[in-house]
Amino acid sequence: MSEVLPLLIDRVDTPIGEMLIVADRQGNLRAVDWADHETRMRRLLRLHYGENGFRLEPARNPNGLTYAISSYFAGGLTAIDFLPVQTGGTPFQREVWCALRKIPCGTTVSYGKLAEQVGRPAAVRAVGLANGSNPVGVVVPCHRVIGANGLLTGYGGGIERKSWLLEHEAARQR
């Protein structure tokens, strides 16, 4: 029988809704999502760790992660820059997620530009799918990716949240 991974879950109120924060006991973020998308988050956890491969345990501010994310929403944008992240996913997905963390706060890139940055300029659709499968939104800033035409495109938390996050970051950079 395989080992069950204990994961700690906390909830935090943000200006754009309640956020769920999932971490392991070593202090790594495993998932971040909006409470109104908890079903999706649990489905992704099952996909990455197996149907019975993890156990969620309520926790308060696991390893300081909740506090750091709250600081980001309060205007301390760099509070999340170096939070440790440990995710499942394919090697390609993890490569895209790593590239997302290199997008400077207050800026955006297109899916095409992101595909170029990971050395796969023709893989724009695959990059888009990897971006959409990001289990650690906000911290791994998938909201900073926009359409080639400069318009906001899909975001798992909703376009309104994506718009708010980009405005929040841009306003703090001025």
Q: pLDDT digits over 72-101, tens only? A: 999 999 999 999 999 888 999 999 999 999
**Token pair belonging to 137:** 């939104």
Helices then strands, each counted (H, E), the chain: 6, 6
| Segment 96-155, tens digit of pLDDT | 999 999 999 999 999 999 999 999 999 999 999 999 889 999 999 999 998 888 878 877
Q: Could you confirm whether 98 is annotated as catalytic? A: no
- The residues, ordered by sequence, that sit 6+ positions from 39 with a Cβ below 8 Å of its Cβ are none
| Rounded Cα gap, residues 24 and 26, in angstroms | 5
| Rounded Cα gap, residues 143 and 126, in angstroms | 17
The closest of 64, 83, 91 to 138, measured between CA atoms, is 83
CA distances from 109 to 35, 46, 94, 101, 156 (A): 27, 30, 18, 12, 17
**Domains of the chain and any CATH numbers:** 5-80 (3.30.160), 91-173 (1.10.10.10)
Q: Which of 22, 29, 41, 142 is catalytic?
A: 142
- pTM confidence score: 0.91
